[in-house]
Amino acid sequence: MRTLPALRTSPTAKHVDRLMRGVLWIIALGFIAVLLIFVGAILKQGWPVLNLGFLTKMPETLDAGGGIKPQIFNSLYLVVLSLGLSLPVGLGAGIYMAEYAGKGRALQFFRLCIETLAATPSIVLALFGMIAFVQTMGWSFSIRSGALTLALLNLPVITRVTEVSLQSVPRELKEACYGLGATKLQTILKVALPYAATGILTGLVLTAGRAFGESAILVFTAGTNTSGQFPDFRLTVPGETLSVHLWSVTSDGTLPDAREIAAGTAAVMILILLILNLLVRFLDRAIRRRTR
Amino acid sequence: MNDSSESTLAATKPLDAVSGTKRIQPVLPVFRQSRLHRLADRWSHLLFLACSLLVVALIGGILFFLATRGLAAFFPLAGNTGRTLSFSEVFLTTDWAPSSDRFGILPFVAGSLAVTGLALLVAAPTGILTGVFIAKLAPPWMRTLMRQVMDLLVGIPSVVYGIFGLTVILPLVSRTWLTNAPASGFAISAMILSVMIVPTIVSLATDAFESLPPSLDEGSQALGSSRWQAIWHVLMPAAKPRLLTATVLGLGRAIGEAMAVQMVIGNNPQWIALMRESTDRAPFLRALFTPAATLTTELVQELPNTAAGSPWNNVLFAMGLLLYLLTMVLILTTRRLGRGQEA
């Protein structure tokens, strides 16, 4: 570290200071502008397409005027399924890391694995899902292949959130519980988890948003087709989601109104994500109110 | 856990008993302790351990499955129905023409590095500066606003970024700067990618600056430094390891991003040859707007069209394996960087 001139502020330093403050403000405002332009452009393009027919019609394969009804269903269905698969495992792993693993090598190793899984590109997870579920298990492009692979994307986030939320439980609370004669398991289930629940729920909603927007994984595991029925709860049929639909209509180019459909789909996705974001903010505020 | 419905926190009952009678009764234990509870307590950690071990197994499983297919390109394994390729012809040649049996993946490696490098060139400085701004300079309302902006930016799906690039930025750039020549290529991909990875860098950089002891800041200002001098000469060096970690994680996100880049980069595996042939006067600028391809975009583009077991298919999986190994190296790098920091 360089020694600073004690108590001597040159005019240049003052100018630099003012200049850099200005630069920082401009960068920050620039990002706000980027977001506004982005969301504005997507909504503006999609707005003319958005109507009840678009949301409730089946998609067309060759003609204009198709809707996105099954894609909306598949998106929500896959998010729910993948969260249902990854939540128990993520909770379990998070509990182990926060409460049982101690502070030593084991915890470091588990953390390393979680970080690696979290940093693994989704296209790599997609390849894994394609080999393991689509080909080796012989499930072809289906909802179940998609849900299982998507669960891999959620797992590290849920684990991390569970671990962090459990660590934020005040020690006194747990000690008081032990003092009342509870076993460790009872303390975790009755005191620590309920306390951490709001934090975990926030993480869960964020994870849902990520899974909802994921496309690379699902292109290779859930396919780019729908079963043609609605609602179709079968796990063995291909299930194209909104984000995959958005990608496939633009890259296929067989639909005459691909542009409009893509614009409308993007707008629907942005709207759903904005609602999710409000939900996260609401939960976040609930946490702060309680911990204050 | 099956015992959870049984044991109830019976705190109210003993308390009533205490107030009812003068004599203080032993109120412990409030939690019921049947044999079942003790058994559950003793063995439940195995269940939690199993969940953790599943994550470890997944890391290994992904490596195993990718390796069986990716390495089949180079060795006569079960998954190989075509000829085996040599490492040098795959990793060291720039000629990608699978239909005429030439599998050089260098264009994609170079493409990934180029687009990631360009994105980091924009995202790392702006992200770190935004981190300083949020942690040290911004008024509270701006701080909350910036956090929400970053949350929204990170939540936008990559296909939506892609469609924005495809329908807004590409036509705009092509019309205004390039006299209607197609604008797809590194420049636009990197531009979109930098917006996608900036939230990662910002949030980690903000954490880095916020976790510095306030005495650093106060001390340098007490010595008469300006706000910016304190940031530049004291806080930045102190936060350096964690800022590097932030950059490395941003790099990881950028190199693995597939869909958004695939939609705007132009998907041209022959981009190196194309650039060699071009006789442009500004080759660097030309390169920025040459349709190109990266590891991830090529996977998205070609994997659905290839037959399992063919060398083409196996080389694509080898590219996936390369990405996965790269992730591991990056994570280990962040570990190494963080080691000096965690005290």
Q: What is the pLDDT of residues A59-74, one digit of tens each?
A: 877 777 778 888 999 9
Cβ <8 Å between A215 and B158: yes
Shortest alpha-carbon distance between residue A234 and chain B (Å)? 24
Cβ <8 Å between A190 and B7: yes
* Residue A286, CB-side half-sphere exposure with 13 Å CA sphere: 14
Q: What residue in A sits closest to B329 (Cα-Cα)?
A: A116
Contact (CB, 8 A) for A208 and B155: no
Instruction: Give long-range contacts, CB 8 A cutoff, 24+ apart: B307-311.
Output: B308/A135, B308/B79, B309/B72, B309/B79, B309/B80, B309/B81, B309/B82, B310/B81, B310/B82, B311/B73, B311/B80, B311/B82, B311/B83, B311/B84, B311/B85, B311/B98, B311/B101, B311/B103
Per-residue pLDDT at A7 exceeds 60? no
What's the CATH class of domain B105-305?
A: mainly alpha
B159 touches chain A (CB under 8 A): yes
Highest mean pLDDT among A46-50, A178-182, B91-95, B234-238: B234-238
Domain ranges of chain B: 1-33, 105-305
Q: In chain B, which among 234-253 make CB contacts under 8 A with chain A?
A: 234, 237, 249, 252-253
Q: What residue in A sits closest to B149 (Cα-Cα)?
A: A32
Cβ pairs A/B, distance under 8 A: 295
The pLDDT score that the predictor gives to residue B6 is: 41
Shortest alpha-carbon distance between residue A100 and chain B (Å)? 7
User: Residue A32: which pLDDT band, with cuts at 50, 70 and 90?
Assistant: very high
pLDDT tens track for A71-105: 999 999 999 999 999 999 999 999 999 988 888 88
Q: How far apart are CA A54 and CA A263, in angstroms?
A: 12
A8 touches chain B (CB under 8 A): yes
Q: How far apart are CA B326 and CA B304, in angstroms?
A: 23
Q: How far apart are CA B171 and CA B169, in angstroms?
A: 6
Q: How far apart are CA B32 and CA A190, in angstroms?
A: 13
Q: What is the mean pLDDT of chain B?
A: 84
B41 touches chain A (CB under 8 A): yes
Per-residue pLDDT at B19 exceeds 50? no
In the block, which residue shows the tokens 């502020």?
A9
B219 touches chain A (CB under 8 A): no
Cβ <8 Å between B31 and A180: yes
The pLDDT score that the predictor gives to residue B312 is: 87
Domain ranges of chain A: 60-164+193-291
ipTM of the complex: 0.90
Of all helices (H) and strands (E), which one includes residue A292? none
**Which of the residues A111, A186, A217, A218 would you substitute to probe the B interface, choosing the one with the greatest number of B C-beta atoms within 10 Å?**
A186
pLDDT tens track for B134-150: 999 999 999 999 999 99
Contact (CB, 8 A) for A174 and A184: no
A274: chain B residues, CB-CB within 8 Å: 152
B226 touches chain A (CB under 8 A): yes
Comparing A264-278, B105-119, B162-176, B279-293, which segment has the lowest mean pLDDT? B279-293
Contact (CB, 8 A) for A91 and A207: no
Contact (CB, 8 A) for A124 and A57: no
Q: What is the mean pLDDT of chain A?
A: 87
**Collapsed DSSP state (helix, strand, coil) of residue A222:** coil
- DSSP code per residue over B65-105: HHHHHHGGGTS--TT--SPPPPHHHHHS---EEGGGTEE--
Q: What is the mean pLDDT of residues A213-241?
A: 86
pLDDT tens track for B61-78: 999 999 988 888 888 777
pLDDT tens track for B244-259: 999 999 999 999 999 9
The pLDDT score that the predictor gives to residue B29 is: 55
> Has domain A60-164+193-291 been given CATH number 1.10.3720.10?
yes
B132 touches chain A (CB under 8 A): yes
**Is the peptide bond between B237 and the residue preceding it cis, with omega within 30 degrees of 0?**
no
A22 touches chain B (CB under 8 A): no
B169 touches chain A (CB under 8 A): no
pLDDT tens track for B221-232: 888 888 888 898
